[in-house]
Structure 1
Amino acid sequence: MEVAILGATGLVGQIFVRLLENHPWFKIERLVASERSKGKKYREIAEWVSDDTGDIEVESLEDFLKNPDVDLVFSALPSSIAGKVEEKLAEKIPVFSNASSHRYEDDVPILVPEVNADQLKLIEFQQEQRGWEGFIVTNPNCSTAILMLSLKVLSEFGLKKVNVATMQAISGAGFKGLSALQIFDNVIPYIEKEEWKIENESRKILGFDFEMSAITTRVPVSHGHTEAVFVELSEDISVEELRKAFDSFDPLKKLKLPSYAKPIVYKEIPQPKLHRKLGNGMTVTVGRLEKIGKKKFKYVTLGHNLVRGAAGGSILNAELSYRLGVIK
């Protein structure tokens, strides 16, 4: 299938390109960016290129929209412009979006394939409601995406309450997000709108209501978000039972998706520098699991914010959709 990447010169866009190199199902055909990049070879702009993609001529978004002749689109556009663009494309083409523009609409799934694959059923409703031949599928905010895998396991034991404090990498702010002077020797205990996203996206993805509170912080780490999680369950289980549930969680294994990796790996002391690249960046690490009261636990989880939390998650969404026949 021929694909286009929108926002291809940005941080997430370049990860899309890297992960889609030599993909067995999806071939990069068109790279789309701002008017400033129009007409340039991708190698002139991107920090990472191969011989194959380096020679692709970047086109402007305006030009692409005149003739979006591809089988599907991966969108790494800023949320400020993604909304109308993605809707226009979805009239004819499947769009897999990393932007937040459509996440909170009732007929648009926020998809994490290991967690809520059943929400792909929303696509048929979305198409009927909007008269589209294509559709929009979103992936969550990066911190939410990393957290969701462990919360899915916990939901099997009756998830009642979640408190989470994130320690998020500077790459989550994009190329222009933070200066070195701001983050050096510092922790910034506020990321705009991030806490609301984690709390509300988590409930939509899991499909039920539970008490949740988040504090988000930016820390001087290049890649990899770490999260300290405190939970209360309905069932009183042991640490050993929960650890076994984490280890055995692997719902996509039999589907043989190209981007598949074991979703959760347990490491006693998870660290971004050591563990963010597990499973080519698609594996989330869980550790420091302790029982802190009846039906209460704490643990640490981490994952690669640009791969599992962004481009890789969106590609996995497209692979699942293709495997299940949602993409024709």
Structure 2
Amino acid sequence: MSIRVGILGATGAVGQRLVQLLDPHPDFEIAALTASEASAGRSYRAAAKWGLDFPIPDSVAEMTVRATDADEIPDDVPLLFSSLPSSVGEAVEPGLAEAGYVVSSNSSNARMDPDVPLVIPEVNADHLDLLEVQRDERGWDGALLKNPNCSTITMVPTLAALDQFGLERVHVSTLQAVSGAGYSGVTSMEILDNAIPHIGGEEEKMEDESRKLLGGFDGAELDLHGMDVSASCNRIATLDGHLENVWADTAQDVTTESAAEAMADYPSADLPSSPAPLIHTFEDPERPQPRLDRMLGDGMAVSAGGFRETPEGVQYNCLSHNTLRGAAGASILNGELLAREGYL
């Protein structure tokens, strides 16, 4: 029997990706779509400025968009996928969790709160049990779960594979696609024939979220990973796919062969949206590339290549599709984990 789900912020770029991925999902059925007051009361077809390269699914095209409010969402929709702007998410997500809804959110607010799990199911599924602490401390019947930033989620699975060698320091420089800024985030006049060497708040997200994701959880409290992380985040004129150059310093010696093998062997999760393999590795030093490799694993895989030994560890490049693996797909993976672990 399908679980009825809602999409918060359904008309935006990530909301549309959620519609794309959920319409054919084996376990979930779209039952509610919400957006701003300006869109509420209109059909989804009329409210959404559709930007994907296939038609709006018939199952949702004529669905009436609701306001993003607990009073507007049916009681029989236990799981909500949130793609709200962080300022809106901060205002409404706690109230929805208090009202009994379980919210799997892509929004950046509350990711570093000590009682909010930040989860990549293939990396730290055990952190989901932090929801028990959250419910006890906040008195919520529902729950709030976060997936990380799109740049963080590209790098962290590769770091999880290397952690067996004792991660000490990580330096990363990103080449991030324009879709990560949303439909109106970067104008063509800004990005064409150009690169923008700063994305507000992005470096801090990568540095902090990576340590939380790879941290330890004892059932009551979460400790951040002890590695140092430094990030430089850059916007380039790629449509989709974040490419990242990573330098990982390790306590133990690591060769290019052992690093690539650790990533290639890193397990996926037993969930519908988790690809196998999770990490594709390339011997070709010119791969991965956004245009060629962002859709590996239906856009849910991470790819890595360009392995090179350094005096302190290993350098490599990694890539994932930022609005599939990095946003909408990440929230859905977390929803699948919530369903499997009995939190709905």
- How high is the TM-score relative to the length of structure 2? 0.91
- Partner amino acid for 2:178? I
- In structure 2, C-alpha distance between the alignment counterparts of 1:202 and 1:24, rounded to whole Å: 31
Give the SS at the match of 2:319: strand
- In structure 2, C-alpha distance between the alignment counterparts of 1:251 and 1:76, rounded to whole Å: 24
- Partner amino acid for 2:342? G
- In structure 1, C-alpha distance between the alignment counterparts of 2:298 and 2:268, rounded to whole Å: 18
Look up the match of 1:137: 145
Is the counterpart of residue 324 in structure 1 residue 319 in structure 2? no
- Partner amino acid for 1:52? S
Contact 1:15 1:306 survives alignment (8 Å) = yes
Is the counterpart of residue 215 in structure 1 residue 232 in structure 2? yes
Is the counterpart of residue 265 in structure 1 residue 280 in structure 2? yes
Look up the match of 1:4: 6
Give the SS at the match of 2:38: helix
Look up the match of 1:225: 242
- Partner amino acid for 2:304? V
Contact 2:254 2:313 survives alignment (8 Å) = no
Look up the match of 2:314: 297
List 4+ stretches of structure 1 deviating above 6 A: none
Alignment equivalent of 1:192, drawn from 178, 200, 209: 200
Contact 2:254 2:309 survives alignment (8 Å) = no
Look up the match of 1:285: 303
Taking the TM superposition and a 5 Å limit, the aligned residue runs for 1:251-262 are 251-252=268-269, 255=270, 257-262=271-276
Give the SS at the match of 2:25: coil
- In structure 1, C-alpha distance between the alignment counterparts of 2:118 and 2:320, rounded to whole Å: 18
Contact 1:68 1:89 survives alignment (8 Å) = no
- In structure 2, C-alpha distance between the alignment counterparts of 1:67 and 1:37, rounded to whole Å: 15
- In structure 1, C-alpha distance between the alignment counterparts of 2:66 and 2:115, rounded to whole Å: 31
Structure 1 residues 67 and 265, CA gap change in structure 2 (3 angstroms) = closer
- For the aligned residues, what is the CA RMSD? 1.2
Look up the match of 1:163: 171
Paired residue total: 322
Taking the TM superposition and a 5 Å limit, the aligned residue runs for 1:299-314 are 299-314=316-331
Taking the TM superposition and a 5 Å limit, the aligned residue runs for 1:174-189 are 174-189=182-197
Look up the match of 1:44: 46
Q: Percent identity?
A: 45
Look up the match of 1:151: 159
Cα distance, 1:176 vs structure 2: 1.4
- In structure 1, C-alpha distance between the alignment counterparts of 2:275 and 2:186, rounded to whole Å: 31
Contact 1:199 1:214 survives alignment (8 Å) = yes
Structure 1 residues 67 and 271, CA gap change in structure 2 (3 angstroms) = closer
Give the SS at the match of 1:127: helix
Alignment equivalent of 1:28, drawn from 27, 30, 47: 30
Contact 1:230 1:298 survives alignment (8 Å) = yes
- Partner amino acid for 2:22? L
Unaligned regions of 5+ residues in structure 1, if any? none
- In structure 2, C-alpha distance between the alignment counterparts of 1:231 and 1:23, rounded to whole Å: 36
Cα distance, 1:250 vs structure 2: 1.1
Contact 1:43 1:54 survives alignment (8 Å) = yes
- In structure 2, C-alpha distance between the alignment counterparts of 1:121 and 1:40, rounded to whole Å: 38
Cα distance, 1:44 vs structure 2: 2.2
- In structure 1, C-alpha distance between the alignment counterparts of 2:47 and 2:343, rounded to whole Å: 34
Unaligned regions of 5+ residues in structure 2, if any? 216-224
Give the SS at the match of 1:35: coil
Contact 1:83 1:101 survives alignment (8 Å) = yes
Is the counterpart of residue 121 in structure 1 residue 129 in structure 2? yes
Cα distance, 1:324 vs structure 2: 2.1
- Partner amino acid for 1:39? G
- In structure 2, C-alpha distance between the alignment counterparts of 1:158 and 1:82, rounded to whole Å: 36
- How high is the TM-score relative to the length of structure 1? 0.95
Cα distance, 1:66 vs structure 2: 4.3
- In structure 1, C-alpha distance between the alignment counterparts of 2:169 and 2:194, rounded to whole Å: 30
Is the counterpart of residue 110 in structure 1 residue 126 in structure 2? no
- In structure 2, C-alpha distance between the alignment counterparts of 1:211 and 1:179, rounded to whole Å: 34
